[in-house]
Amino acid sequence: MNRKVLVIGDIILDEYIEGNYAKRTSDDGKNVFLKDTITYIAGGAGNVASNIAQAGIQTSIIGVIGSNRDSQCCKNILKQNGLDISMIIVEQDWQIPVKTRYMVHNQQVFRSDKVRDTTIKKSTEYALMEHLENCIKEFSAVVISDYQTGVLTKDLVHHIIQLANQYNKRIISDSKASCLLPFKGSYLIKMNHEELGIVTKRLCDSWEKIKESALQVIEQCQCKYVLVTWGKNGMILLSNSSFIQCIRNHSNSSAVCTIGAGDIITAYLLAGIENNLPIEQCMALASTAAEIAVTMPMTTVLHILLSDLNYNFSPNELTIWEEIKGNGGSEYVKNSAWTQYWT
The domain limits of the chain are: 4-21+36-342
Residue 81 confidence (pLDDT) above 90: yes
Please say whether the beta carbons of 261 and 291 come within 8 A: no
Q: Is the pLDDT of residue 5 over 50?
A: yes
Please report the pLDDT score of residue 221 as a whole number: 95
pLDDT at position 297: 82
- The whole-number pLDDT of residue 340 equals 41
87 vs 330: CA distance, rounded Å: 48
Q: Where would I find the H helices in 278-337?
A: 279-293
Write down the pLDDT at residue 248: 61
- pLDDT at res. 129: 97
* Mean of per-residue pLDDT scores for the chain: 88
Say what the pLDDT of residue 343 is: 29
Closest CA to 287 of 316, 264, 321, 255: 264
What's the rounded mean pLDDT across residues 288-296? 87
Residue 50, C-beta contacts closer than 8 angstroms, at least 6 positions apart: 42, 59, 77, 78, 81, 82, 83, 301
User: Minimum mean pLDDT among 94-103, 228-237, 305-314: which range?
Assistant: 305-314
Pairing verdict, β 98-104 and 89-90: unpaired
Q: What phi and psi values does residue 254 have, to the nearest 5 degrees?
A: -95, 10
For residue 226, give the nearest of 268, 193, 202 by alpha carbon: 193
> Residue 341: its pLDDT value, please?
39
Q: Mean of the pLDDT values across residues 252-278?
A: 86
| Homologous superfamily of domain range 4-21+36-342 | Ribokinase (3.40.1190.20)
Residue 269 has pLDDT above 90, yes or no: yes
The whole-number pLDDT of residue 312 equals: 62
Q: For residues 57 and 342, which has the higher predicted lDDT (pLDDT)? A: 57
CB 206 within 8 A of CB 184: no
Top pLDDT among 291 and 270 is at 270
pLDDT band at 94 (very low <50, low <70, confident <90, very high): very high
Neighbours of 111 (CB within 10 A): 12
6 compared with 258, residue with greater pLDDT: 6
The band of 217, judged by pLDDT with boundaries at 50, 70 and 90, is very high
> 158, 148, 211: which is closest to 184 by C-alpha?
158
Averaged pLDDT, 80-91: 96
pLDDT grade for 339, boundaries at 50, 70 and 90:
very low
Which residue type, as a one-letter code, is found at position 308? D
For residue 338, the model assigns a pLDDT of 44
Rounded mean pLDDT, 51-69: 96
Q: What pLDDT is recorded for position 166?
A: 97
